[in-house]
Structure 1
Amino acid sequence: MRTGPDRRTFLGLAAAGAAWSLTGCQACPDPVDRTVPGDLAGTGKPGTTATSAGVPLQPVADVPLAPAGPATITDLLTTPSFYIAHRGSGDNWTEHTLRAYRESAALGIKAIEVSVSATSDGVLICHHDPDLARMTGRDFLISATSLATVATLRNDARAWLGPATGREPVPELQEVLDLLLADTVIFLEDKQGTNQEEILALLAGYPDARDHIVWKQPAQSKAHAEARRNGYTTWGYFGSGTLDGAAAYFDAVDLLGVPALAPTENIRQFVATGKPVIGWEVHRRSERDRLLGLGVRGMMCANAPYVLQREPVAAADAFTTGQRAPGDLPWDADSHWQEQPTFTGSALRMASATTAAYTLGSMGPIQAAEWLLEFELRWPAGVPGQAYGAGIMFALADDSPWRPGQVSGQGGYLLDARPDGRLILYRVDRGSAAGTVLGEAGGAPARAGQWQQFQVAVTAAGISAGRGGTQGLTSTDAAFRGGYFALAKNYDGGPPVEFRNVRTGPAPQPGTAGQACPA
């Protein structure tokens, strides 16, 4: 006969003030590894990653684990699903830099995307925007700036990737071609739309260019015809505002590009042409899975290590590194960096003008059947003067974004820590913006600058949540048991809220809740 408390007893331990935490005591070692070894599951397979429960998360099979020899356009298009590093995978490395291109190629990705503009003295450089303001802080129009001036500047993606990210030079196109053309497919776009003659002349110096260069422009561009006449494969992409008239341009290009978040009916229209379709830009695994399910074969991928499932699933946040972990993303990844929280020491600060969420994809999916999630939060500059607070969305089926107060594309739970000390657990169903209260617990009002620690335990019997290692509320709801979660700011405007020490681990087992540390 089992003598310890069963799961239902554990869920009712609030009255006893049971301690349940991943932290342990000062004299005890931390029971949760900060990162999970890549072969925790004992598979012996190189590149295998694992969750905190030791369940393997296999790398995407269609991309080799390392460069596997020269890749041509034919090699790329004969792969069942293929990946192109968008801006060199700009969610991971400073976009359109030699480092980003090299790192992407080192992952085994066969193709990279390169944007090109010409300086005032006619030198082709790799840069996405028509000016240098966003990336270098200097509001210079590229077409009016000399190469000598550009060479003194550095691309700075710290606002997107974190303060520990290094600044990188703006590369010349010829440098990139010399480094990568022989082994890599390059999707090359004339961003200014005026440099085709110069680009084709430069490519003429590379005998195998037609095997490696895909001419990229909006599908409506007349430059595709000239690229085809010169023997190049063409990729025409469409924006969300040009999808309705897309069919008129399908025959003008060899490959089609559709926004990753386009409506299903539009994507099916593209796939029905029989031409290879590439979704752009892909930040999340959920976007990849949706596109593949609709028959899209190509992924213009901005978050390659994460989408390709090359990173071990972490058991703790990486905020102390000052650099965003692969898979961690704000709810709006296409916001030109405005929605990215900032790193402040060991914490992540959310200070958006609206409600916001930050998915910790680097720590998902948690695949244990029963697990504990722990985090700390504070309001460093004053508590909100409104009803809602901040907390965590959890048990999400995938990593698709879910912003508080907006209609949810998937179901899950929201734990809201209110400024007045209340802790409220909501169930939010798919297609709903409002949640249903499942439980509530009281507590002392929050004070500015005070860190509070919270825990959520998810078991087969239900959900428990509390603060400071003491259980506060419970629910037997079992509708959602996904392994992804997101930090949440549940109010508009200020003040900012900070999070730190986000960790996951196995839920307390029967008979262990409240167990004292050994002397």
Structure 2
Amino acid sequence: MIARRQFLGFAAAGAVLGVAGCSACPGSPAPGATARPRPRIVPAASAAKEFVTAGAVAAPGDKGPFTIAALLAAPSFFVAHRGSGDNWPEHTMRAYKGAVASGLKAIEVSVSATSDGVLVCHHDLNTQRLTGIDLTIARAPYAALEPLRNDARAWLGPATPLEPIALLSDVLDAFVASHVIFLEDKPGTNADEILALLEKYPAAREHVVWKQPSASPGHKLAAAKGYTTFGYMVARDQARVPELIPRTDLLGIHYTVPEAMIRQVVASGKPVLAWELHRRSEYARLQDLGVRGFICANIRYVLHQDEPLSEDGFAAGRRGTGDLPWAADAVWDGQPAFADGAVSISSPGQSGYVLGSLAEAVNSADWEYEFELRWPSGLPPDGPGAGVAFGQDGDAPYRPGSAPKVSGYSLDVAADGTLALYRHDAGTTDPVRLAQAGSPAPRAGEWMKFVVSLRPWSIAVRRDGGGTSGWSVSAEDTRYGGAWLTLLKNYDAGPPVEFRGVRVRAVAAQEGCGNVG
């Protein structure tokens, strides 16, 4: 099993408050202070290798064949949710090929039939969300779908290529003999046609898992044909769990269902899979609850397959691996927009955008974040403004104004220039204000540059004013030292806020003194 320490930072207790000054200087602890815990970081290559060693992911160069029996024999295993839609346009050949090339032994494929009987791979029953064209698949001929292109730029960034809608026959030709396919008849009306097509593939029963809601009648048809069945449940099915468990060979639960429901399903003794995972914290929690299979939308990040970045990739127009809005499995409107090397958060409510791509980039007792912030079209109303949460001990979603699941600190920059530092303790709605200081009120369109320093005995934030001058706020709080950073919009409605130039770096012990104005 993969150790939980790979996914979450660890925190230690003890804090002493302070005010602005040169408290960022190392080696000057307040009496009785406890040094900040360092994030316990496992290098990405080592963490990724452990998944291979445990059998959860194929070794580089291993092309299978991977069967259902072999998949279930591993202590844990992963399935690419829609082909891993946080990494590639969902349910496209590009996504399926990318997942397989990343070592996934299993992919998830959703299927609908056109009006003339062509089986296509698409999650929604309508093409509007992914193509911009309003067609109900069951009412449209394939000739109307063939020229359409799946457009995931709103979710993955403007540099994301457009992709055609995949044919089920092409997916089966490419993968059914070598990989496991969790195959879902999405509308629940095409079982006969799908099962008939599968008969053309001699190895189908060893590689295809029939996937539908647990109560679906299609499971009986598939089981009668000799296929392994997978039934999934959501929170509204909680009262029916004892009735639904016997209906299928494998059981699925959404990761948001009550913990008691997860434990009840796991206690059945059947293999349990959870969907849709975007974050390492979700994987760690579900694994602790006894879940063995993980239908993952963000395999490159959860499996540590990409090295962490030291600076954002906003200018490339492609969302970084692990960069996620606080509501990652909701509508695409929660994803910031990319423009001119920056990201813009314009959601109607308070919002957070975790930069998982930068997490664990440094393993040091002294480190800094640098970023720029502006309101391009007007300032927010009086009250909280925007800023960053930092020193967070995990990648759990963080949204201002709600009780956080993750501990850490935050900086708020108000429209009048006030800089305020807070500590956020997981599960507690009201943050602890550590310190605040004034700075000049920003102007609409003006970029402001900030440096956030975490030292063993203090935290400090400087707003640059040109050269080495500026305005600062600091506190001698050492409780948290996690490796995650979240961009914050701390107000409802109002104008959008933009961020750019986000960087993280280790700081030498002699740095940090004399540069706080």
Normalised TM-score (structure 1): 0.88
What secondary structure, in the 3-state scheme, does the structure 2 residue paired with 1:13 have? coil
Aligned to 2:255: 260
Q: 2:408 aligns with which of 405, 412, 415?
A: 412
Aligned to 1:480: 480
Answering whether residue 60 of structure 2 is matched by residue 66 of structure 1, we say: yes
Q: 1:368: Cα distance to partner?
A: 2.3
Read off the aligned partner of 1:197 and give its amino acid letter. Answer: D
After TM superposition, the structure 1 = structure 2 runs for residues 199-348 of structure 1, keeping only pairs within 5 Å, are 199-348=194-343
CA distance in 2, matches of 1:475, 1:15: 9
Aligned to 1:35: none
CA distance in 1, matches of 2:24, 2:323: 36
After TM superposition, the structure 1 = structure 2 runs for residues 77-476 of structure 1, keeping only pairs within 5 Å, are 77-365=72-360, 366-468=362-464, 470=470, 472-476=472-476
Q: 1:64: Cα distance to partner?
A: 2.6
CA distance in 2, matches of 1:215, 1:496: 44
CA distance in 1, matches of 2:20, 2:308: 27
CA distance in 1, matches of 2:142, 2:511: 69
Q: 1:65: Cα distance to partner?
A: 4.1
Aligned to 1:510: 510
CA distance in 1, matches of 2:331, 2:138: 22
Compare 370-379 and 462-471 and name the one that shifted more.
462-471
CA distance in 1, matches of 2:438, 2:372: 17
Q: 1:429: Cα distance to partner?
A: 1.4
1:16-52 CA-to-partner distances (Å, cap 9, x unmatched) read 9xxxxxxxxxxxxxxxxxxxxxxxx9x9xxxx637xx
Question: Are residues 368 and 57 of structure 1, via their aligned partners in 2, closer, same or farther at CA, if it must alter by over 3 Å?
Answer: farther
CA distance in 2, matches of 1:67, 1:133: 38
What secondary structure, in the 3-state scheme, does the structure 2 residue paired with 1:261 have? coil
What secondary structure, in the 3-state scheme, does the structure 2 residue paired with 1:491 have? coil
Higher relative contact order (CA 8 A, sep 6+): 2
What secondary structure, in the 3-state scheme, does the structure 1 residue paired with 2:387 have? strand
Percent identity over the alignment?
47
Question: Are residues 157 and 15 of structure 1, via their aligned partners in 2, closer, same or farther at CA, if it must alter by over 3 Å?
Answer: closer
2:214 and 2:247 in contact (8 A); partners too? yes
Q: 1:380: Cα distance to partner?
A: 0.3
CA distance in 2, matches of 1:10, 1:430: 24
CA distance in 1, matches of 2:236, 2:380: 38
Read off the aligned partner of 2:488 and give its amino acid letter. Answer: A
1:14 and 1:473 in contact (8 A); partners too? no
1:372 and 1:508 in contact (8 A); partners too? no
Question: Are residues 71 and 511 of structure 1, via their aligned partners in 2, closer, same or farther at CA, if it must alter by over 3 Å?
Answer: closer
Answering whether residue 9 of structure 2 is matched by residue 13 of structure 1, we say: no
CA distance in 2, matches of 1:115, 1:9: 56
CA distance in 1, matches of 2:365, 2:141: 59
Read off the aligned partner of 1:493 and give its amino acid letter. Answer: A
2:18 and 2:434 in contact (8 A); partners too? no
Read off the aligned partner of 2:65 and give its amino acid letter. Answer: P
Q: 1:260: Cα distance to partner?
A: 1.3
1:183-228 CA-to-partner distances (Å, cap 9, x unmatched) read 1100000011110000000000000100000000000101111111
CA distance in 2, matches of 1:380, 1:139: 33
2:366 and 2:509 in contact (8 A); partners too? no
5+ long unaligned stretches in structure 1? 1-7, 17-40, 51-55
CA distance in 1, matches of 2:364, 2:288: 26
CA distance in 2, matches of 1:264, 1:240: 10
1:67 and 1:105 in contact (8 A); partners too? no
Read off the aligned partner of 1:64 and give its amino acid letter. Answer: A
2:109 and 2:183 in contact (8 A); partners too? yes
Q: 1:10: Cα distance to partner?
A: 13
2:321 and 2:357 in contact (8 A); partners too? yes
Report the count of equivalent residues.
Answer: 475
What secondary structure, in the 3-state scheme, does the structure 2 residue paired with 1:499 have? strand
What secondary structure, in the 3-state scheme, does the structure 2 residue paired with 1:244 have? helix
1:312-365 CA-to-partner distances (Å, cap 9, x unmatched) read 011111101101011000000111211011001100000000000000001113
Read off the aligned partner of 2:164 and give its amino acid letter. Answer: P
Q: 1:410: Cα distance to partner?
A: 2.3
Aligned to 2:9: none
CA distance in 1, matches of 2:177, 2:395: 36
5+ long unaligned stretches in structure 2? 1-16, 26-40
CA distance in 1, matches of 2:19, 2:75: 48
Aligned to 2:35: none
CA RMSD of aligned residues (A): 2.2
Aligned to 2:13: none
Read off the aligned partner of 2:276 and give its amino acid letter. Answer: E
2:58 and 2:104 in contact (8 A); partners too? yes
2:355 and 2:487 in contact (8 A); partners too? yes
CA distance in 2, matches of 1:98, 1:314: 27
1:372 and 1:456 in contact (8 A); partners too? yes
Q: 1:405: Cα distance to partner?
A: 0.3
Normalised TM-score (structure 2): 0.88
Q: 1:262: Cα distance to partner?
A: 2.1
Question: Are residues 512 and 395 of structure 1, via their aligned partners in 2, closer, same or farther at CA, if it must alter by over 3 Å?
Answer: closer
1:219 and 1:238 in contact (8 A); partners too? yes
Read off the aligned partner of 2:209 and give its amino acid letter. Answer: V
Aligned to 2:38: none
1:220-274 CA-to-partner distances (Å, cap 9, x unmatched) read 1011111111100000001222223222110000000011122221111111111
CA distance in 2, matches of 1:367, 1:262: 35
1:282-329 CA-to-partner distances (Å, cap 9, x unmatched) read 100000000111110100000010011000011111101101011000
Question: Are residues 317 and 65 of structure 1, via their aligned partners in 2, closer, same or farther at CA, if it must alter by over 3 Å?
Answer: farther
1:456 and 1:463 in contact (8 A); partners too? yes
